[in-house]
Chains A and B, each alone.
Chain A
Amino acid sequence: TVGAVALDSQGHLAAATSTGGINGKMVGRSSDTSLIGSGTYADDEIGGVSTTGHGDSIIKVCMAYAILKNIENGSDPQKATQSVLDKMSAKLNNTAGAITISKTGEIGVGFSSKRMSWAYQKADTIYFGIEQEEVQSEKV
């Protein structure tokens, strides 16, 4: 799965996600990626989210929307993202990841899987990682 979330100079948010699904899936299986609120969500008044991971579990917790509800209720994007991932993994014993931007441009990156590749650029620096707790940066 791949995804992107953006906040533009007008203060508008958008989110997008695309996937081939899960290897060896049944013919005709749909994923969380196609479901607004699970794989993708954006609301200028709160933030934007794109998710990845075990889609059938992500659907059960409406992950993208759940993360934004956490932000709406006062959590910062990082905590909002990680707490939904942790709850999902604890309850359903599967893993996932998500990227989040709040309406003020704060970033959240979280995953309960072993790895998730991610990157964002801020001014002339690109930040990226793939391992848990890893944040690398380099000048563009």
Chain B
Amino acid sequence: MEPILIVHGGAGDIKDSRVPDKIKGVKIAAKAGYKILKNGGTALDAVETAVRILEDDESMNAGRGSVLNLDGEVEMDASIMDGSTLAAGAVTIVRDIAHPISLARLVMERTPHVLLAGPGANKFAEEQGIPRLLPGSLITPFAKEALKEFKKKGGSLTEIGGKDNPGDVG
């Protein structure tokens, strides 16, 4: 079967100035994931690799570059699913780790559960040897500015990222 991989970098009212970086990021991730598939790798490895690349890209709302909550902190969610077994793993409200998607995969592969949350997810990450980053490591200047604008202007939580509110969507 001819392998294929598709990625997205988020939907919303994305600012014009963010468009080139968004396109560049998804192209890099798609190529990397496809390369794994062409070399005989699994779909699971391919999607995890592609998402890790996007989590490292601070123009994306995931990993470093995540938007901020009302307290100015990053709280991240991730999930992964294996279509051959319906095995699935997810984390929510996880803090200070670089790649939530890899933690979600560990939940799938090393626990009897599907979803770990908050401090429990971070405790599991620590047990699995995933380094905890210094608080604030994932916060970018753009995310800080977006929250500042949000607090100043209020506005919709559904379409954030336009010229009036330079944030990003969930």
- The yes or no answer to B125 lying at the interface (CB within 8 A) is no
Determine the chain B residues whose CB is within 8 A of the CB of A50 once the complex forms: 8
B29/A4 in contact, CB under 8 A: yes
B47/A117 in contact, CB under 8 A: no
Determine the chain A residues whose CB is within 8 A of the CB of B82 once the complex forms: 12, 14, 42
- The yes or no answer to A67 lying at the interface (CB within 8 A) is no
Determine the chain A residues whose CB is within 8 A of the CB of B168 once the complex forms: 20, 23
Q: How far is the CB of B53 from chain A (nearest CB, A)?
A: 9
Determine the chain B residues whose CB is within 8 A of the CB of A31 once the complex forms: 77, 92, 170
Q: How far is the CB of A36 from chain B (nearest CB, A)?
A: 5
Q: With A20-B74, A28-B75, A30-B93 given, is the CB distance from A2 to B80 under 8 Å?
A: no
Which residues of chain A (5-41) have a CB below 8 Å from chain B?
5-36, 39-41
Q: With A14-B44, A54-B170 given, is the CB distance from A114 to B159 under 8 Å?
A: yes
Determine the chain B residues whose CB is within 8 A of the CB of A42 once the complex forms: 43, 81-83, 86
B67/A34 in contact, CB under 8 A: no
CA of A50 to CA of B88, assembled, Å: 13
Q: With A2-B60, A16-B80, A126-B27 given, is the CB distance from A34 to B11 under 8 Å?
A: no
- The yes or no answer to A83 lying at the interface (CB within 8 A) is no
Question: How many residues in A have their beta carbons less than 8 Å from beta carbons of B?
Answer: 76
Which residues of chain A (37-70) have a CB below 8 Å from chain B?
39-44, 47-48, 50, 52-55, 57
Contact residue among A13, A21, A55, A118 (Cβ-Cβ distance under 8 Å from B83) = A13
Q: How far is the CB of B29 from chain A (nearest CB, A)?
A: 7
Q: With A4-B47, A28-B118 given, is the CB distance from A117 to B1 under 8 Å?
A: no
Interface, chain A (partner B; CB < 8 A) = 1-36, 39-44, 47-48, 50, 52-55, 57, 94-99, 101, 105, 107, 109, 111, 113-123, 126, 128, 130, 140
Since A40-B88, A99-B6 are in contact, a sample of 4 more A-B pairs with Cβ atoms closer than 8 Å, ordered by chain A residue number, is A10-B1, A33-B77, A39-B79, A55-B170
